[in-house]
Amino acid sequence: MLKLTAAVLVLTPTITQAQPCDERFVLHNNSSRSIAEFYASNSGSDEFGANMLQGEVLPPHHYITVDPYDGTDASIYDLEAVLEDGVKVDKFRVNVCTMRDYTVYDK
């Protein structure tokens, strides 16, 4: 007597949830002036939040890791560096999920 074996393959769709990105990036100051303030907020916000340097300054040719995470799933941010003489260097609609470094140069 022959025995027949049947293999059944069941395919079930797999739903993967998007993992939140790591918003941290390295802020480089390649300008000739210190960065007195640095702001980052998701592009959907009407205003920048708190100064991410928290009262410190970032001297020329130095760098620091910043984390703009605001509790949302936003990945597109607006960035603003304020140099020691008040000059503002802005960059809008930056994808912080794909950016690992952001460099400020003299304007």
Domain boundaries, the chain: 25-104
Q: What are the tokens at 47? A: 């205003």
* Sheet arrangement for strand 88-95: 35-42, 76-83, 88-95
State how far the Cα of 19 lies from the Cα of 79, in Å rounded to an integer: 23
First to last CA, the chain: 87
State the pLDDT at residue 89: 95
Closest CA to 106 of 93, 87, 92: 87
Q: What are the tokens at 16? A: 């993967």
Q: pTM of the entire structure?
A: 0.78
Mean pLDDT for the stretch of residues 32-53: 93
Pairing of strands 25-29, 35-42: unpaired
State the pLDDT at residue 3: 52
Q: pLDDT of 87-104, one tens digit each?
A: 999 999 999 999 999 999
